[in-house]
């Protein structure tokens, strides 16, 4: 996979959940995400693209704006750093995501952020 194609897929992933409050363009996501997507974040883990969609839609429901700070790639891997303006549970959140592409689709996403506001307190 070329770096350009990898970055094109990652940009399409982000484009599918911008400007759609409370939901995502699931058809677009299904085109760029591998059905057996491996997704990991500090608060969730999914083994399929279908399993990720409801959580991504819920997150998008709290998203007021996303400001991409940097996106870069090499071969079949890419990374993005961005700030989110949210309605809850915090006002802002800095995120980093690492992507791996296989067979023309995103097959792995590792999302990193300060999850303290998302964890259930005892």
Q: Give per-residue pLDDT as tens, 18-39.
A: 765 666 889 999 999 999 999 9
How many other CB atoms sit within 10 Å of the CB of residue 45? Answer: 11
Q: How far is CA 99 from CA 19, 23, 31, 85, in A?
A: 22, 22, 15, 22
Q: How far is CA 89 from CA 22, 42, 63, 69, 82, in A?
A: 15, 15, 11, 22, 18
How far is CA 1 from its chain centroid?
20
pLDDT digits (tens, 9 = 90+) for 43-88: 999 999 999 999 898 888 888 889 999 999 999 999 999 999 999 8
- Go through the domains of the chain in sequence order and give each one's CATH number: 3-112 (3.10.450.50)
CB-neighbour burial class of residue 97 (10 A; exposed 0-12, middle 13-18, buried 19+): buried
pTM: 0.91
Using left for φ > 0, alpha for ψ between -120 and 50, and beta otherwise, residue 71 falls in: beta
pLDDT at 122 over 70: no
């Amino acid at each position: 996979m070329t770096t350009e194609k990898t970055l094109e897929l990652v940009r399409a992933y982000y484009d599918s959940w911008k400007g759609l409050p409370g939901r995502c363009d699931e058809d677009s996501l299904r085109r760029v995400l591998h059905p057996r997507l491996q997704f990991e974040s500090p608060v969730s883990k999914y083994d399929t693209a279908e399993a990720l969609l409801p959580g991504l839609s819920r997150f998008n429901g709290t998203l007021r704006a996303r400001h991409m700070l940097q996106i870069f790639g090499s071969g079949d891997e890419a990374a993005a750093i961005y700030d989110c303006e949210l309605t809850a549970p915090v006002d802002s959140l800095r995120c980093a995501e690492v992507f791996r592409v296989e067979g023309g689709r995103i097959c792995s996403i590792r999302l990193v952020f300060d999850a303290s506001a998302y964890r259930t307190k005892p």
